[in-house]
Chain A
């Protein structure tokens, strides 16, 4: 559709924008490219579009936080011995790599709190404490697996710190672990699993 206007004696034709701008992008593209484009357009307005490094690291961090302890062979052997139930496990060298990755990502969050002004302005000593509490079981687990320091001492510290971390969940900011699922449905304009819009530009 075109509009024609007369400006200073010249006829200027302007193409009117389509109702759905995205349909122009999809024209003449194969189906799989179209679906990829759709996903990209949807992700653009989420944290993966506004802050991709933080988004990806945060997502992997939270997934590994669950995957690493639950599918660890040693934990499953203990569960089998005491309760008689176990889950399938992933290999130990892979878990070791996951642990290193988790510690590195914990370091990223720590540095982010120090160097990014908008995070630093909000950070209190409690935030550092909670980050340390979450990372401590993984640090001690790495030390125990590689038999650094005294094995038994490190293992007992690992167990105690892990228990404290789990116990702290309902009383600290770690409460977002169980309640995040519910709170998603209380966010205004969202009330579902879909990512919300949080960008003003463009």
Chain B
């Protein structure tokens, strides 16, 4: 149920992406002071009537943060959660503003890259509605 379903080559590809961006990810995760000021700059946050899961730093910590900590070895359920977070809750509009200077969009873009390597991406149903 919660088993890690990941083959060697995919793991290697994910590792390569993480190693390439290691400095940025590590620094960003350790520099985030959890102040939640970035939430005001996210239009998805405002549109969702202040749903806390739309806070940019929450999206970063629970997507790339999780992937980085476990080196990509996450279960399918966890990857599914990350997919919803990085595609449904963020549109990469580059408007999010961090007072400390963390580049939230590039971190979320990295998480998307890793998800694509795992074979997870945004899907559309017949009506053209993304889920």
Instruction: Show the binding face of A for B, using Cβ within 8 Å.
Output: 47, 50-51, 54, 116-124, 127, 173, 175-176, 179-180, 182-189, 196-201
Contacts and interface: CB of A to CB of B under 8 A. Distances in A.
B63 interface: no
A122 B61 contact: yes
B17 interface: no
26 contacts: A47-B99, A50-B40, A51-B37, A51-B40, A118-B39, A118-B55, A119-B34, A119-B35, A121-B53, A122-B34, A122-B55, A122-B58, A122-B61, A173-B31, A173-B33, A173-B34, A176-B31, A176-B33, A183-B31, A183-B100, A184-B101, A186-B103, A187-B97, A187-B98, A197-B41, A198-B37
B88 interface: no
Given A118-B55, A121-B52, 12 more contacts: A50-B40, A118-B52, A122-B36, A123-B34, A183-B100, A183-B101, A186-B103, A188-B94, A198-B38, A198-B40, A199-B41, A200-B41
B36 A176 contact: no
Contacts of A51: 37, 40
Interface of B: 30-41, 43, 45-46, 50, 52-53, 55, 57-58, 61, 94-95, 97-103, 105
Given A51-B40, A180-B100, A199-B40, A117 B52 contact: yes
The SS class assigned to the A binding surface is helix
A47 B98 CA distance: 11
Contact of A198 (B30, B41, B52, B58): B41
Nearest to A55: B37
Contacts, number: 81
A121 B55 contact: yes
A25 B40 CA distance: 26
A8 to B, nearest CB: 35
A187 B39 contact: no
Nearest to B96: A198
B76 to A, nearest CB: 24
Contacts of A182: 101
A173 B41 contact: no
Q: Which of A118, A185, A189, A198 is the most central at the interface, judged by chain B CB atoms within 10 Å of its CB?
A: A118
Contacts of A199: 40-41
A118 B95 contact: no
A51 B40 CA distance: 8
B46 A200 contact: yes
Q: Which of B36, B37, B38, B52 is the most central at the interface, judged by chain A CB atoms within 10 Å of its CB?
A: B36
A55 B130 CA distance: 37
Contacts of A117: 50, 52
Contacts of B57: 122
Contacts of A50: 40
